[in-house]
């Protein structure tokens, strides 16, 4: 079966051939330029807006000066991250489940951690980052009186992957070193500001507005048990017992403790099902007298249908005669332990 990555590479090759041919034949407009699978779209629009936005030059220069320090820290951090990645690659040459080659590509459907369903959000975030980053370069160009030759987007085939601002080379050459430094650092500065804003929103109003949905999630039901027979299965959320709402496991246990053997269970999907409870062994000692899935119907002649009734029937007893679906079993009441062959209790009598 052909992998998604192969299809993506084949698509890029086909796009490159077609786009290059269209450019060679003069069909593409002059504002569109193709270089392999990379397409750039150039425009002159937006210059007047940047001129208006650059009016408070003293403010933007102060912000850009802060950005120079931020850019320096980011450069050092990026170098350290690349160096650490290289060391990790040499120390762990074999790929693992979470270090597959395709996961280096931030492409939904190719990266195993990015399904196609999140493609719109990723594209939107990328566009915001590109506009803010390159807008910073363009803004500081006008603040420092550096002319702009063109602006635009860079696409990998049809996927936005970058943006650009082309300063006029002659105008840039006449600017002093400080002006050029602030202009080049402006993109990183703006990205840093957007990151801080995003985290502030995430850990502020966004997290504050998230609440845990009430109810008790069901992790699964043993086959043949009353819950399974009633249609309760993995993924369901129990929201009520006998008409009383339960918001968590503690409330659910309390509701069951006060309920009769037969209970009406309300689910999050709006359905209500009736369950006649029983005591079922969910785990058992290997080769022991009871097996997982066994239903206990009585203890010492007393019928039990709930966990609470089972515990009450065992109180103050050293042995118990259990009536089960597999017959009657008599066993001591207490805790079972497995003794390790080389443990401290190995020679205990």
The string of pLDDT tens digits covering residues 284-307 is 777 777 877 788 888 888 888 777
CA distances from 199 to 27, 185, 193, 202, 306 (A): 45, 22, 10, 5, 49
Q: What local confidence, expressed as pLDDT, does residue 211 receive?
A: 67
How far is Cα 88 from Cα 295, in angstroms, rounded to an integer? Answer: 53
Q: How many CA atoms are closer than 13 Å to the CA of 172, on its beta-carbon side?
A: 16
Residue range(s) occupied by CATH 2.30.42.10 in the chain: 216-276
Reported as a single tens digit per residue, the pLDDT across 179-208 is 888 898 888 888 888 888 888 888 877 667
Angle, vertex CA 63, rays to CA 57 and CA 66, nearest 5: 140
Q: What local confidence, expressed as pLDDT, does residue 52 receive?
A: 92
**What is the token pair recorded at 114?**
């990015």
Q: Where is 244: in which H helix or E strand? A: strand 244-245
131 class by beta-carbon count within 10 Å (0-12 exposed, 13-18 middle, 19+ buried): middle
Q: Give the rounded distance of the alpha carbon of 133 from its chain centre.
A: 25
Could you give the residue ranges of the DSSP H alpha helices within 144-176?
Answer: 169-174
Superfamily of domain 216-276: PDZ domain (2.30.42.10)
Put simply, whether the predicted model's pTM sits higher than 0.75 gets the answer: no
All residue ranges of the chain with pLDDT < 50 are: none
Q: What local confidence, expressed as pLDDT, does residue 36 receive?
A: 87
Q: What local confidence, expressed as pLDDT, does residue 43 receive?
A: 87
Angle between helices 57-91 and 177-201 (to 10 degrees): 70
Q: What local confidence, expressed as pLDDT, does residue 128 receive?
A: 85
């Amino acid at each position: 079966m052909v992998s998604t990555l192969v299809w993506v590479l084949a698509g890029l090759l086909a796009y490159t051939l077609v786009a290059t041919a269209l450019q060679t034949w003069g069909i593409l407009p002059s504002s569109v330029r193709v270089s392999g699978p990379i397409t750039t779209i150039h425009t002159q629009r937006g210059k007047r807006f940047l001129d208006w936005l650059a009016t408070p030059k003293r403010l933007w220069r102060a912000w850009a000066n802060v950005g120079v320090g931020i850019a320096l820290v980011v450069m050092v951090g990026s170098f350290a991250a690349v160096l650490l990645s290289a060391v990790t690659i040499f120390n762990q040459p074999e790929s693992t489940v979470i270090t597959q080659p395709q996961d280096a590509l931030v492409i939904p459907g190719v990266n195993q951690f990015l399904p196609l369903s999140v493609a719109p959000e990723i594209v939107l975030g990328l566009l915001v980052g590109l506009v803010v980053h390159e807008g910073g370069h363009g803004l500081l160009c006008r603040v420092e009186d550096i002319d702009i030759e063109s602006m635009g987007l860079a696409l990998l085939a049809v996927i936005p992957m970058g943006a650009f601002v082309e300063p006029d080379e002659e105008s840039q050459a006449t600017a002093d070193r400080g002006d050029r430094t602030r202009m080049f650092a402006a993109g990183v500065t703006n990205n840093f500001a957007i990151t801080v804003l995003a985290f502030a929103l995430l850990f502020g109003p966004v997290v504050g507005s998230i609440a845990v949905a009430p109810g008790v999630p069901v992790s699964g039901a043993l086959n043949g048990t009353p819950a399974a027979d009633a249609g309760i299965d993995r993924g369901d959320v129990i929201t009520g017992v006998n008409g009383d709402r339960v918001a968590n496991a503690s409330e659910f246990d309390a509701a069951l403790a006060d309920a009769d053997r037969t209970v009406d269970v309300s689910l999050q999907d709006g359905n209500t099902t009736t369950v006649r409870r029983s005591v079922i062994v969910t785990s058992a000692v290997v080769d022991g007298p009871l097996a997982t899935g066994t239903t206990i119907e009585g203890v010492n002649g007393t019928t039990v249908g709930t966990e609470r009734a089972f515990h009450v029937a065992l109180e103050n007893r050293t042995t118990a005669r259990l009536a089960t679906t597999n017959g009657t079993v008599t066993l001591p009441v207490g805790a079972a332990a497995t003794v390790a062959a080389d443990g401290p209790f190995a020679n205990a009598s």
